[in-house]
Amino acid sequence: MKETRASATAQRVAMRRAAHQLLDDPKVFDDPVALRIIGKESASALQANPHQFEATPLSPYLRAFLAARSRCAEDELALCVRRGVSQYVILGAGLDTFAYRNPHPQGVLHVFEVDHPTTQTWKRKRLDEVGIPLPNDLTFVPVDFETQTLEEGLRAAGYDPDKVTFFSWLGVTEYLTAEAVMATLRFIASATMGSAVVFDYMLSPSLLTPAQRSRFDALAQRLALAGEPWQTFFDPGLLTRDLRAMGFGYVEDNGPEEINTRYFKNRKDGLRVGSLSHVMIAKG
Ligand SMILES: C[S@@+](CC[C@H](N)C(=O)[O-])C[C@H]1O[C@@H](n2cnc3c(N)ncnc32)[C@H](O)[C@@H]1O
Find the length of the chain.
284
258 within ligand 1 shell (Cβ under 6 A): no
171 within ligand 1 shell (Cβ under 6 A): yes
Which residues are within 8 A (CB) of 76 and not within 5 positions of it... i.e. 6 or more apart?
166, 196, 198, 281
Task: Give, using CA atoms, the residue closest to atom 22 of ligand 1.
Answer: 116
Task: Give, using CA atoms, the residue closest to atom 27 of ligand 1.
Answer: 94
- Per-residue pLDDT reduced to its tens digit, 120-172: 999 999 999 999 999 999 999 999 999 999 999 999 999 999 999 999 999 99
How confident is the prediction along the chain (284 residues), in pLDDT tens digits per residue? Answer: 566 788 899 999 999 999 999 999 999 999 999 999 999 999 999 999 999 887 788 899 999 999 999 999 999 999 999 999 999 999 999 999 999 999 999 999 999 999 999 999 999 999 999 999 999 999 999 999 999 999 999 999 999 999 999 999 999 999 999 999 999 999 999 999 999 999 999 999 999 999 999 999 999 998 999 899 999 999 999 999 999 999 999 999 999 999 999 999 999 999 999 999 999 999 99
Specify the pTM.
0.97
139 within ligand 1 shell (Cβ under 6 A): no
- Nearest atom of ligand 1 to the alpha carbon of 10: 2
145 within ligand 1 shell (Cβ under 6 A): yes
Distance 68 CA to ligand 1 centre (A): 17
Q: For residues 177 and 232, is the Cβ–Cβ distance under 8 A?
A: yes
Dihedral of the CA atoms 190, 192, 198, 202 (nearest 10)? 0
Distance 7 CA to ligand 1 centre (A): 7
User: What whole-number distance in Å separates Cα of residue 31 and Cα of residue 29?
Assistant: 6
Distance 269 CA to ligand 1 centre (A): 30
Task: Give, using CA atoms, the residue closest to atom 13 of ligand 1.
Answer: 92
Q: What are phi and psi of 88, to 5 degrees?
A: -125, 115
